[in-house]
Chain A
Amino acid sequence: MLKVYHIFKSLLCLLILLSPGWTLAQERTITGKVMSADDNMQLPGANVLVKGSSSGTVTDSEGQFSLAIGDNTTLVISFVGYVSQEVAVGNQSNITISLVPDATSLAEVIVVGYGTIQKKDLTGSVTNLSQKDFNAGINPNPLQAIQGKVAGLNITQPSGDPNTAPTVRLRGYTSLAGGSDPLYVVDGVIGVPINSISPSDIDRIDVLKDASASAIYGSRAANGVIMITTKRGKDGKPTISFNNYIAMENISKRLDLMNADEYRSEVTRIKGAASLSDGLKFPTDANGNGYNTDWMKQITRTGYTNNHELALAGGTSQLSYRGSLNYMKREGIVKNTDFERITGRFNVDQKALNDKLQIQYNLGVTRTNSNLTNEDVINRAILFLPTLPVHNTDGSYYEVPGSFDLYNPVAMQQNFKKPSANTLLVGAINAKYEVAKGLTLGVNGALQSEQGRKQEAYNVDTKAYLGMLGQVSQSYAQANNKLLELTAQYKTNFGSSSNLTVLGGYSYQGFVNDGFSAMNNIGDPSLADVGLYNLYGYNNLGAYQGTLIRGQSNYVSSYKNTSALISFFGRATVNLTDKYNITATVRRDGSTKFGANNKWGTFPSLAAGWTLSNEGFLSGGSTLNYLKLRVGWGQTGNAEGISPYRSLLLYGTPPDGSTSYSYYDPVSKQFLTGVDITQNANPNLKWEVLSQTNIGLDFELFDGKVTGTLEVYDKRTKDMLYNYTVPLDGKNYFTKTQLANVGEMSNKGIELSVGGDVISGDNFRWNTRVVGSVFKNMVEKLSSGDYQSGQILYNNFNGRGLGLITASQLREGHPMGEFYIPHFRGYDENGNIQYETEDGGVTTDYGSAKKFEKGSGIPKATVSWINTFTYKHFDFSFQLRGVFGNKIINNLRSNLTLSGSILENNMIRDIDQYPANYSIPGLSDQWLESGSFVRLDNWQLGYNIPVGGNAIKNARVYVAGNNLFVITAYKGIDPELQVKGDLGTDYATPNSIGMDYSNIYPKTRSFQLGVNLTF
């Protein structure tokens, strides 16, 4: 305490000296108003300082100020985001000052963990975006709103399903089992589900890309941190915003399947005309005519989207607020699928105790309702024969009995329900109190509560669902967490333009998850005509009690687990003479989820910035106005993939919900439930460690017309988590695998973002920006001591009779997503695929084929070209996004060209390019295609209606759309495929990368019409 005492003693002296009360007596008072030059709106909160003194004031809610001044006074007026202005007062008594927005944007504030920083002082790699940067078109969640906008942040939307969230990978692939998604921090609340935020509520998004920026978030920051700041009320009159759009979506591209006539003629060519006599597959109507059904058309529709938003904001200098309501309903193009969301958000800002106490209250409520499809419906719509009718004459669904592959997709669609609902509540209070000049204490408390419900029902009276026995289920899940953070920040200025900021803090976040589910089979096939599906569906699980006719131990199940993360963190920032910036951070995290031997981890970072353009040897140039070099290093952790209790030796019920622990008791002659060891213990279990070095160059050219950032990074994951294979020796290990920290993976990349106002006339403006990144991934190590990854085979290649054939294998020294497949050497006379062998010969035996590295499913480069044109009241924007260097295995094509199986399912028209006796599929580079593409992601044409009077402040109408066209050589439906790379639901193999399968929800093209009004 003694030290603190001294610090405060000196501080207090400083305070007294600087206090206005001690300055010389004033001669007169000047009043004035500070406005924004671009829209003539008053600027509340702008600083007005007397140059060369410490006296000054801040503008009020109307932008007005009043200040006592002496003779020959010059005022310095500054406001964040605007160029500071100096005004010689002369003998004026009332002045109006218009501040010009800072085009260089260096004065912008960047949100970093537990604070903000001026962009010019930045040392780490952070990209910030505001609402105006968001993508046009339908953006159900914030990620789609920034797709293509941030170099190195690859956002992939692999399907048109309104309920599928995009895949986000920042700067490559760093983990298998540790978790691959970035950490989302919304208004200081850690871990808010990103899909719950309506993009229209967002003020800004800051993406912390490198370790020096994100290490303050410690063991959860390895995949980057995305900081979202929601809109808040401002001092001033209430404003009402009313934003609406409607949109329609259709399939952007269809598979080139055969129609009935084409199918019949191909069957005749391949199998002979006699095959057409099969009345089951080639039925005729009463007039003897065959049918022709387009099954994809049968299961799809035009999907309409409605989005409505109402926001109210206003306040005084002491209390401001913003409340908003947003409703979105998006119909999927596959029938019976949709997504509906209602969000309510209420943010309040309060100031008290002479503005020394600032409190932010945030309340957000999100309710989503989804109707999901059975993905197999899409697959079956591709496979089902075009020669079949939807219904029999009696109205029942047409089915082909005894066939293994043919199921009526319309019947499947109409006899399956899978709704889900989710409610998320996030409430937070963030208080900051300036205890003494420069010293601020903060408390941040938040509560997140999420409730989810899932329901599912299959009608047993459907051929495809016979084996499901009328399964009906409901499950409820709750996830609650509490966050408490205490911070202390001390900031002091020294010299004219130097300062020091020190931050220290403590954080506790406790998680409680629980839930239960119940399931029943209400469809004993012999009782199918009871029709329980239509009577009850999933709404009365007990309706058919006692018919637990399918072997599973999870008819009723529940779970509960808890975990906690406790952290201490600190940051010190030194900014010297606007030339040198140094930031050091450290976070120490302890988690209950880690093994007993490794509960705590320390995550440090250090970074420095050097503004070269402020040095004598570079300043004053007219081409290069600004140049800053940033170098940073840090370590972050990744452990979100570890669920609670994974380090312990536990007795429990089967993890897979099977009956594998239930046993026969010969005395009671009953099957009873047993208890068994569920996993191998690992007391050494801990976070993955990611070390990252980042070098960045920020520059401005041609008087700030062009701005840009170039960055290079090198990341290396150590202690990579995976369910490694362990030696089964009968003593130490009970199951084949153990979650352990073994492997290593590296990612290196370059990112560039450059652009600006190429043309900026009075009437016409063209802003253009190119954002691009390249990266290289490498799996460095997969085994150590007792642990071996074994053969991690993934990217399954599906085909008739193929079993486990995989196109990729994780191998040390090879990148993730690499295809490792045989080379195609044509067909033999029997229609068998021939592969190249080791000695250059050919074989028809897949097992003897030589495998080659044939490129990767992960793109080498991603580039976006973003353009905005403004002409008077019109504006037009579009974004082209290109993905280059990736390969795709067209597994859809390999299965839909198989002449030998033409009687089993429909095929594509290109079947005539393949031998008529080709009947056994095989994996080779025959199916490998380039996945490069350029897509017109989104476009928008808007008109700002000139509005006079005070009633309407702003009125805008626009038309917009997504996915207008794709330029690609890829023969499949769409080259943008899932590129997740993390572990799948089996927790053993990575999710597919660059595989085109038959059950992918079709992509869409959308058109949108919108209107925004502000009162």
Chain B
Amino acid sequence: MKNFLAIKRRVAYASILLIGFNLGCTDLGETVYDQVPQDQYGNTEGQLNTLIGPLYTGLGSYFSTFELLNCVTDEELAPTRGGDWGEPEWKFMTEHTWPTNFYGFDNMWSFVYGNIAKVNQKITNPGFQSPEAQAELKTLRAFYHYVALDNFGNVLIADETAGATPAQSSRKEVYDYVEKELLAALPYLSTDVRAKYGRMSKYVAHMILAKLYLNAEVYTGTPQWSNAIAQCDSIIQSGKFIIAGDFLSTFSVNNENSPEIILSTPFDKSKRTGLYLQMSTLHYLHQQTYDLGSAPWNGYCTNAEFYDTFEDDDVRKQMWLTGQIYSSSGEVLFDDTQPAILTKEIPSFKMPAGADARLAGYRSVKYEVERGATFDMSNDFVIFRISDVYLMRGEAHQRLGHLGEALDDVNAVRTKRGVDGFTTLTLDDILAERGRELAWEYHRRQDLIRFGKFENAWPFKPVTPDYLRIFPIPQSQIALNPNLIQNPGYPQ
């Protein structure tokens, strides 16, 4: 029996060992080492700052989001150069035959609503409950809703974090929401435009309101010209912004000190990357002109008709790169066997392969190209600036019949740009002036729509129906969100 007891004891020990392990090793919680669970962060001033900053970095995607979609306007296109740039989107954007599943619309939607979700998550954070912090966050949220209503029309109002997916609102409802939010925020917003550079200051809120009112007729059917003038007045009369004497300085590598800028998204070639307009537009050979780290992609250019609206004396004409391409040491460069000369005319949208196709169309260097740039540039991308405000106010006056005030405002810009002021003014003049002043700053689509010209024919684009004034709700979002109904005119 001794033997038996020994066995029994051994079994018992083993069982205890087994049970002990089972109880001790069944904890399945996760210990996070290299990231922070969201509820364990944001407790100090410093931590809160690191949460607010990235919200504005999210705003930096404004450039890449709008860069693509600007090809729906008459100022920019990417023609098919032989086998290069043959993707369908360049053609369907220019021709206004875009499909509802175009990734450009997906990008715009996620730019808006991904960022809104992150703002909402901060609005409920206990650290951001001061009226000033709430006002700034809500202004940023209103800005995204404004972008959504301008591009997609009937969209979602997302005004809280978590909870049921919101129902789709009409363009008018979103308009009212943005107006209400901004008016409520105004008293608490900062007027220190240096301390709020690249952020939501009081004047940014005025600017969004000014844009909202200027386009109110498009958005709601009811014009708000006087309200637009009042908002522009608030910006101009603050004296915080002036039209720069040197036009291109507002777009230079170190443009953060430009007196024109109301809102920009700061970029840096290494610390905050994402601005690479030179890569999209310049010819391969410009690598040698600017000693770039890699050959540019030779894509975007402008139409001859648009280029021709610039007078020779106009300093703004210097934004275009034309003619012979030289190396940085001044040598004439060749494409295949012919001298590399950029041509104004684009013979056809689809050009056969060869040097002629590669050299067609003038390119933009409005944003200064830094010599030796590797890929990303350090220029800050300008979203809102003061000359736009003058032109907006001038337009609103013109539409109300205040012709004198309109002339003053438009000429205030023109005289700074080296061209004579207008003596008489038409709405077409104002649109053309906005084209020259704001070319490739991504206001053109909104302007063409407001002036009723978006349906017109221009090179490589036929006359198009007016339902295209608002982009389709992205097909992918409709598939996922049963609350969303496609905009009128598009296949449901």
A441-B10 Cα distance, complex, nearest whole Å: 10
- Residue contact B117 to A731, C-beta cutoff 8 Å: yes
Interface stretch (choices A197-205, A530-538, A659-667) = A659-667
A548-B270 Cα distance, complex, nearest whole Å: 7
Q: Which of B106-165 contact A (CB under 8 A)?
A: 106, 109-110, 112-114, 116-118, 120-121, 156, 158, 160-163, 165
Q: Is A901 an interface residue (CB 8 A)?
A: yes
Q: Which of B1-43 contact A (CB under 8 A)?
A: 3-4, 7-8, 10-12, 14-15, 17-18, 21-22, 25-26, 28-38, 41
Q: Is A674 an interface residue (CB 8 A)?
A: yes
The interface residues of chain B lying within 8 Å CB-to-CB of A903 are 336
Q: Which of A834-858 contact B (CB under 8 A)?
A: 845-847
- Residue contact B114 to A404, C-beta cutoff 8 Å: no
Q: Is A4 an interface residue (CB 8 A)?
A: yes
The contact of B7 among A435, A525, A650, A676, by CB within 8 Å, is: A435
A12-B1 Cα distance, complex, nearest whole Å: 10
User: In angstroms, how far is the closest chain A Cβ from the Cβ of B455?
Assistant: 23
The contact of A663 among B272, B287, B480, by CB within 8 Å, is: B272
The interface residues of chain B lying within 8 Å CB-to-CB of A805 are 87
- Residue contact A659 to B271, C-beta cutoff 8 Å: yes
Q: Is A494 an interface residue (CB 8 A)?
A: no
A805-B83 Cα distance, complex, nearest whole Å: 13
The contact of A568 among B22, B30, B89, B335, by CB within 8 Å, is: B22
A586-B31 Cα distance, complex, nearest whole Å: 29
Interface stretch (choices A92-100, A306-314, A385-393, A554-562) = A554-562
User: In angstroms, how far is the closest chain B Cβ from the Cβ of A421?
Assistant: 24
* Chain B minimum-CB-distance residue to A7: B11
Q: Is A730 an interface residue (CB 8 A)?
A: yes
- Residue contact B120 to A403, C-beta cutoff 8 Å: no
A165-B17 Cα distance, complex, nearest whole Å: 41
* Chain A minimum-CB-distance residue to B325: A402
User: In angstroms, how far is the closest chain A Cβ from the Cβ of B212?
Assistant: 19
User: In angstroms, how far is the closest chain B Cβ from the Cβ of A677?
Assistant: 6
- Residue contact B57 to A550, C-beta cutoff 8 Å: no
- Residue contact B288 to A401, C-beta cutoff 8 Å: yes
A188-B481 Cα distance, complex, nearest whole Å: 49
Q: Is B323 an interface residue (CB 8 A)?
A: no
The interface residues of chain A lying within 8 Å CB-to-CB of B163 are 731-732
Q: Which of B54, B82, B110 has the most CB of A within 10 A?
A: B54
- Residue contact B83 to A920, C-beta cutoff 8 Å: yes
Range of interface residues on B (Cβ < 8 Å) = 35 or more
A751-B89 Cα distance, complex, nearest whole Å: 47
The contact of A730 among B8, B113, B196, B272, by CB within 8 Å, is: B113
Known: A275-B336, A599-B28. A801 touches B22 (CB 8 A): no
Interface stretch (choices B218-226, B230-238, B371-379) = B371-379
Q: Is A645 an interface residue (CB 8 A)?
A: yes
- Residue contact A666 to B477, C-beta cutoff 8 Å: no
Q: Which of A778-817 contact B (CB under 8 A)?
A: 783, 786-788, 790-791, 799-805
A782-B168 Cα distance, complex, nearest whole Å: 26
Known: A4-B11, A674-B53. A644 touches B30 (CB 8 A): yes
CB 8 Å contact bits of A215-228 with B (1 = contact, 0 = none)? 00000000000000
Q: Which of A514, A650, A653, A728 has the most CB of B within 10 A?
A: A728
A599-B83 Cα distance, complex, nearest whole Å: 53
Q: Majority SS of interface residues in chain A?
A: loop
Q: Is A946 an interface residue (CB 8 A)?
A: no
Q: Is B85 an interface residue (CB 8 A)?
A: yes
Interface stretch (choices B244-252, B291-299, B412-420, B438-446) = B291-299
User: In angstroms, how far is the closest chain B Cβ from the Cβ of A261?
Assistant: 20
Q: Is A1 an interface residue (CB 8 A)?
A: yes
The interface residues of chain B lying within 8 Å CB-to-CB of A508 are 21, 25
- Residue contact B17 to A731, C-beta cutoff 8 Å: no
CB 8 Å contact bits of A644-660 with B (1 = contact, 0 = none)? 11001111110000111
Q: Is A726 an interface residue (CB 8 A)?
A: yes
- Residue contact B21 to A662, C-beta cutoff 8 Å: no
The contact of B53 among A549, A563, A665, by CB within 8 Å, is: A665
Q: Which of A4, A404, A678, A900 has the most CB of B within 10 A?
A: A404
Q: Which of B262-294 contact A (CB under 8 A)?
A: 266, 268-274, 284-285, 287-288, 291, 293-294
A764-B337 Cα distance, complex, nearest whole Å: 72
User: In angstroms, how far is the closest chain B Cβ from the Cβ of A568?
Assistant: 7
Q: Is B472 an interface residue (CB 8 A)?
A: no
User: In angstroms, how far is the closest chain B Cβ from the Cβ of A566?
Assistant: 6
- Residue contact A917 to B32, C-beta cutoff 8 Å: no
Q: Is A898 an interface residue (CB 8 A)?
A: yes
- Residue contact B83 to A901, C-beta cutoff 8 Å: yes
The interface residues of chain A lying within 8 Å CB-to-CB of B106 are 736
User: In angstroms, how far is the closest chain A Cβ from the Cβ of B147?
Assistant: 12
- Residue contact A802 to B337, C-beta cutoff 8 Å: no
Q: Is A867 an interface residue (CB 8 A)?
A: no
User: In angstroms, how far is the closest chain B Cβ from the Cβ of A588?
Assistant: 10
Known: A651-B41, A800-B82. A551 touches B57 (CB 8 A): no
Q: Is B198 an interface residue (CB 8 A)?
A: yes
- Residue contact B162 to A675, C-beta cutoff 8 Å: no
* Chain A minimum-CB-distance residue to B103: A804
- Residue contact A550 to B352, C-beta cutoff 8 Å: no
A599-B29 Cα distance, complex, nearest whole Å: 9
Q: Is A926 an interface residue (CB 8 A)?
A: no
* Chain A minimum-CB-distance residue to B273: A551
- Residue contact B83 to A800, C-beta cutoff 8 Å: yes
Interface stretch (choices A32-40, A590-598, A953-961, A1001-1009) = A590-598
A906-B29 Cα distance, complex, nearest whole Å: 58
Q: Is B188 an interface residue (CB 8 A)?
A: no
- Residue contact B271 to A671, C-beta cutoff 8 Å: yes
* Chain A minimum-CB-distance residue to B14: A441
CB 8 Å contact bits of B329-372 with A (1 = contact, 0 = none)? 00001111100000000000000111000000000000000001
The contact of B285 among A402, A666, A725, by CB within 8 Å, is: A402
* Chain A minimum-CB-distance residue to B298: A404
The interface residues of chain A lying within 8 Å CB-to-CB of B32 are 561, 645, 648, 650
Q: Is B255 an interface residue (CB 8 A)?
A: no
- Residue contact A674 to B7, C-beta cutoff 8 Å: no
A717-B270 Cα distance, complex, nearest whole Å: 45
* Chain A minimum-CB-distance residue to B32: A645
Q: Is A526 an interface residue (CB 8 A)?
A: yes
* Chain A minimum-CB-distance residue to B350: A920
A802-B28 Cα distance, complex, nearest whole Å: 48
Q: Is A921 an interface residue (CB 8 A)?
A: yes
The interface residues of chain B lying within 8 Å CB-to-CB of A563 are 30
- Residue contact A732 to B118, C-beta cutoff 8 Å: no
- Residue contact B481 to A729, C-beta cutoff 8 Å: yes
Q: Is A9 an interface residue (CB 8 A)?
A: yes
A732-B4 Cα distance, complex, nearest whole Å: 64
A667-B193 Cα distance, complex, nearest whole Å: 11
- Residue contact A733 to B54, C-beta cutoff 8 Å: no
- Residue contact B34 to A678, C-beta cutoff 8 Å: no
A484-B20 Cα distance, complex, nearest whole Å: 13
**Contacts from B to A (Cβ < 8 Å):** 3-4, 7-8, 10-12, 14-15, 17-18, 21-22, 25-26, 28-38, 41, 47, 49-51, 53-54, 56-58, 60, 80-89, 92, 101, 106, 109-110, 112-114, 116-118, 120-121, 156, 158, 160-163, 165-166, 194-199, 256, 266, 268-274, 284-285, 287-288, 291, 293-295, 298, 333-337, 352-354, 372, 374-376, 476-477, 479-481
Other CB < 8 Å A-B pairs besides A801-B81, A919-B83, 5 of them? A404-B284, A551-B272, A650-B37, A802-B83, A803-B87
Of the A-B pairs whose beta carbons lie under 8 Å apart in the complex, a sample of 11, sorted by A's number, is A402-B287, A402-B335, A439-B11, A525-B291, A651-B41, A663-B272, A672-B49, A727-B165, A734-B117, A791-B476, A801-B83
**Contacts from A to B (Cβ < 8 Å):** 1, 4-5, 8-9, 12, 274-275, 277-278, 401-404, 435-436, 439, 441, 466-467, 469, 484, 486, 488, 506, 508, 514, 525-526, 548-552, 558-564, 566, 568, 590-594, 599-600, 644-645, 648-653, 658-667, 669, 671-678, 725-736, 783, 786-788, 790-791, 799-805, 830, 845-847, 898, 900-901, 903, 917, 919-921
